[in-house]
Amino acid sequence: MLIDELEVYIKAGRGGNGVVRWLHEKGKEFGGPSGGNGGKGGDVYVHAIRDIGLLAKYRNKKSFEAQRGEDGRKNSMHGKDGKDITIDLPVGSVITNLKTGKKIQLLSEGETVMILRGGNGGLGNEHFKASTNVRPIEFTLGKECEDADFFIELELVADAGLIGFPNAGKSSLLNDLTNANAKVGSYQFTTLEPNLGDMHGFILADIPGLIEGASQGKGLGHKFLRHIKRTRLLIHLISLEEDDVLSKYDVIRKELEDFDKDLSEKEEVVVLTKTDLVTEKELKEKVKQIKKRNKKVFTVSILDDEAMKNLKDELVKILRKI
């Protein structure tokens, strides 16, 4: 099961305390100060990897904490710094600090960002030694670290997103265009989570079926609309089983605009699916209807190998240009 949002508590490492220590040397009754400084607390980083299912790994882990800095030691030895922690997250993750409201998005594989800083170590009594203070007893505690609750949500980073009503044929088309193995069924909402596939180096995402009102949370809700925010191309599928393909097109377009105006302005092609279920006359009429809104219209059936090859070639050409 794909988990695409998560809330966790994360804490950096507190700084180690400075200490009061004295030199103990043979033949010297009163040694000088030798208390070392505390080590710095560990920082917290997030790191992007290509694994969209990674958030499921943290399903039962609600907190992360970096290591505390070590306290100072005798003989002027400083404490060790606490170990940093790095949390792996899927490419496309948006990390929101619920304390500050600051957002970070991981857009490329290998990207690493610090999200919390560990506390500085305290000062030992040797630090306070001076000509007027030869036996200092002052020291400071380690500094508090940063901590916060974080909301992590996944926005899939794909080159193209397949959108449309349930049963428009998105999963079937994804399977045929790529090496994906998405579940296919003859009922609504077969796809309950986004599927990805590779088409000659371009990543396609099959977005779960949208319905009227999806931008307000109806059906599977608007949670999946965010997955197409970063796509470069929308592949809008409409089944030729629909009596009025134009109205179906307009409904989905309105949902995109209501959710985020930028979505409605993305490059888009329309693919009319299931040509094997209509006559040539019906096909021509429905293509004519759609071209009132979008001139880039393709017609396919997954049973027609030549049509599928032509579609794949054309999509690759378009993606190379944008």
The residues of the chain that CATH labels 3.40.50.300 are 160-321
Between these two residues, 206 and 315, which has the higher pLDDT value?
315
Written as six digits, the tokens of 101 are 């409201």
C-alpha to C-alpha distance for 240 and 286, rounded to whole angstroms: 8
> What pLDDT, on the 0 to 100 scale, is given for residue 188?
41
* C-alpha distances in Å from residue 184, one per residue of 123, 169, 176: 64, 8, 12
> What pLDDT, on the 0 to 100 scale, is given for residue 283?
96
| Under 8 Å between Cβ of 54 and 90 | yes
Between these two residues, 306 and 156, which has the higher pLDDT value?
306
What's the pLDDT tens digit per position in 157-207?
788 989 888 878 888 899 999 876 655 544 343 444 667 888 988 889 887
> What pLDDT, on the 0 to 100 scale, is given for residue 209?
56
- Does residue 288 surpass a pLDDT of 60? yes
Residues of the chain with pLDDT > 90, as a percent, come to 61
- Does residue 215 surpass a pLDDT of 50? no
CATH number assigned to the domain covering 1-154: 2.70.210.12
The residues of the chain that CATH labels 2.70.210.12 are 1-154
173 Cβ contact partners less than 8 Å away, ≥ 6 residues apart: 162, 206, 235, 237, 271, 273, 300, 302
> What pLDDT, on the 0 to 100 scale, is given for residue 9?
97
- Does residue 1 surpass a pLDDT of 70? no
What's the pLDDT tens digit per position in 100-150?
999 999 988 899 999 999 999 999 999 999 989 989 999 999 999 999 999
> What pLDDT, on the 0 to 100 scale, is given for residue 202?
87
103-105 and 160-163 beta bridge pairing: unpaired
b/e 142-160 (16+ beta carbons within 10 angstroms → b): bbebbbbebebbbbbbbbb
- Does residue 321 surpass a pLDDT of 60? yes
C-alpha to C-alpha distance for 299 and 231, rounded to whole angstroms: 22
Written as six digits, the tokens of 130 are 């001076």
What's the pLDDT tens digit per position in 39-98?
999 999 999 998 877 888 898 899 999 999 999 999 999 999 999 999 999 888 999 999
Q: Which fold would CATH assign to domain 160-321? A: Rossmann fold (3.40.50)
Between these two residues, 169 and 272, which has the higher pLDDT value?
272
Beta strands in the chain (DSSP E): 5-11, 44-49, 63-65, 85-90, 93-97, 103-105, 112-116, 147-154, 160-163, 195-199, 202-206, 233-239, 267-273, 297-299
Measured CA angle at 117 (ends 113, 118), to 5 deg: 140
| Under 8 Å between Cβ of 204 and 194 | no
